[in-house]
A = this chain, B = another copy of it.
Amino acid sequence: MLGVLGGMGPMATVDFMAKVVRNTPACRDQDHIPMVVCSAANIPDRNAALRGEGADPLPAMAEALRRLEAAGATCIAIPCNTAHLWHAALQAGTPLPILHIAEAVTDALAARPGDTVGVLATTSTVTGGLYQERLARRGLSWRVPDPAGQAEVMQAIRLVKAGRAPEAAAILRGQAEALVAAGCHAVVMACTEIPVALAAVEGDLRARLVDATEALARACIQACASPTLADAA
């Protein structure tokens, strides 16, 4: 049974679950993947903690993981990119395999060596290098917004968390287009709030956007189909 360490943020978790359901070939309820989801909205702000301005989120994340274990989860997904800065710490504390969102994205990328990939993410995800090393290992170059653009991305992410996705969409669309204009062949929406805001984007930009939430959802469906990670429940 897939365990989802969620609530970071709550709507991003809902978006992730919708993408698991939508990407599962199913004719009836019973064809779907059983999931247990902890939407632990109480987990302290990850970015504030990394700026040294807030409580450590690890204890609350570990507690949510305990709840998922108690409920019978057999593998774990975390639909929050920034939270993956604690991936190793969380993995060290549980025998359950925790899928990695940036691995799911780089595995799924249809990019050729030499291509440049843009990364729209929280400042913590960018500073922590969550994507850059993995892209470089695949022979890809990467680009992130300049400091003023990065500040706008952070503002947009906060707007989604406050239920103001349409305002966030205008900002994020501009930043994504700027990365494309600067030569990016693809732009990873590497914060799970971003695809919530950009759900309605179509046309040329849509074709270049890579949805980390969707990549993680597909990786989970594949993991749950594998006999080593799936259970009968």
Contacts and interface: CB of A to CB of B under 8 A. Distances in A.
Interface residues of A, number: 42
Per DSSP, chain A at the interface is: mixed
A11 B18 contact: yes
A10 B67 CA distance: 21
A57 to B, nearest CB: 10
A176 interface: no
Contacts of A34: 7, 38-42
Contact of A17 (B14, B44, B71): B14
Given A27-B162, A70-B70, A162-B27, A32 B41 contact: yes
Interface in A13-65: 13-14, 17-18, 21-22, 26-45, 63
- Please name the 5 residue pairs, one residue from A and one from B, whose CB atoms are nearest each other, closest first: A32-B41, A70-B70, A37-B37, A67-B71, A71-B71
24 contacts: A9-B29, A10-B35, A14-B14, A14-B17, A14-B18, A26-B162, A27-B161, A28-B161, A28-B162, A29-B45, A29-B161, A30-B42, A30-B43, A31-B41, A32-B41, A33-B41, A34-B39, A34-B42, A35-B37, A35-B38, A36-B38, A63-B233, A67-B72, A68-B71
